[in-house]
Amino acid sequence: MVVLQELLQGVRPGRALDVGTRLGEFAFRLAEAMPAGSQVTGIDNDPAAGAKAQAKFQEKGLRFELMDGGHMAFPDDTFEVVALSNTLHHIERYGQVLAEMLRVLKPGGYFILNEMYRDGQDAAQQVHAAQHTLEARLDCLLGGYQRETWKREEIVEIFRRLPLEDVTFTDFQEEAVYDAKLEVKNRKLADEVEKIAGRPEYGALKQEALEIQRLCQKNGIRRCTQLLCAGKKRQAAG
Ligand SMILES: C[S@@+](CC[C@H](N)C(=O)[O-])C[C@H]1O[C@@H](n2cnc3c(N)ncnc32)[C@H](O)[C@@H]1O
């Protein structure tokens, strides 16, 4: 991931942390961008994904730990880099997770937030935004938590409130290979709504899923633009 490699050009070798890592999608990119001799750890609080993640991380020589980002077991100032990728909208009390990430980051270390956004997107990307929002609503109805996809300015505001310096914002587009996966998910969208059959929301969400599938046929589907926010933790005064 070229944008990440460019951002981390000046990073010191050491430990890097990916919070909300799922199966390591971002952690593996982080590992490629870190200097030789570094070690990347991914954490996730979903025990269902734990065993699969553990195996994937081991295969790549990285560490995985089942851990809540809001209550981390790492000492203060442990990591050269901390990252949260496409996970902010999955966390209801995200302030606590961001504060924990700051705590375990070394002064001068890099804080990275990567998140897709829904505004200013072309027709094919709007199909992705609508699909993502519908998936989030289904997840909530099934007991999970996901808020609506953020707008770009909302992400910027959250990041600007963190006590960081040398802050940068980079908009980037994933490679087309990821769009094919979205198309596969789109074909299953109306079937996914069957998981809430019998619930009051079922009829409206089924109609919405069918409309998103129709729009996908018409406009195609393309991943929304992502905003890669980066900044360095301020060194203690004195
Ligand atoms: C959409 S996935 C992100 C995947 C990956 N980081 C990426 O960039 O593609 C969000 C992940 O965040 C995890 N998650 C949500 N809240 C969390 C928390 N408080 N602590 C750790 N992980 C959390 C979920 O279990 C899920 O695996």
Q: Can you give the CATH number for the domain in which 109 is found? A: 3.40.50.150
Same domain flag for 21 and 122: no
CB atoms within 10 A of CB 197: 8
Question: Which of 22, 97, 100, 114 to mutate to test ligand 1, by most ligand atoms within 8 A of the CB atom?
Answer: 22
pLDDT recorded at residue 59: 92
- CA 137, CA 161: separation in Å to the nearest integer? 28
Give pTM, 2 decimals: 0.94
Q: Residue 203 phi/psi, 5° resolution?
A: -60, -50
CA distances from 229 to 117, 151, 206 (A): 12, 14, 35
- pLDDT above 70 covers a percentage of the chain that reads 99
Both 4 and 110 in one domain: the answer is yes
Q: 24 CA distance to ligand 1 centroid (A)?
A: 10
Helices (H) and strands (E) in the chain, counts: 9, 7
121 and 51 within one domain = no
φ/ψ of 176, rounded to 5, equals -60, -25
Look up the domain containing 180 and give its range.
117-146+174-225
Q: Is the same domain home to 33 and 135?
A: no
181 occurs within a structural domain? yes
Same domain, 16 and 77: yes
Grade residue 204 by pLDDT with cuts at 50, 70 and 90: very high
Domain check: are 7 and 64 in the same one?
Answer: yes
**Residue of 166, 44, 49, 47 whose CA lies nearest to 111:** 166
From 44, 62, 71, 149, mutation site for ligand 1 pocket: most ligand atoms within 8 A of C-beta: 44
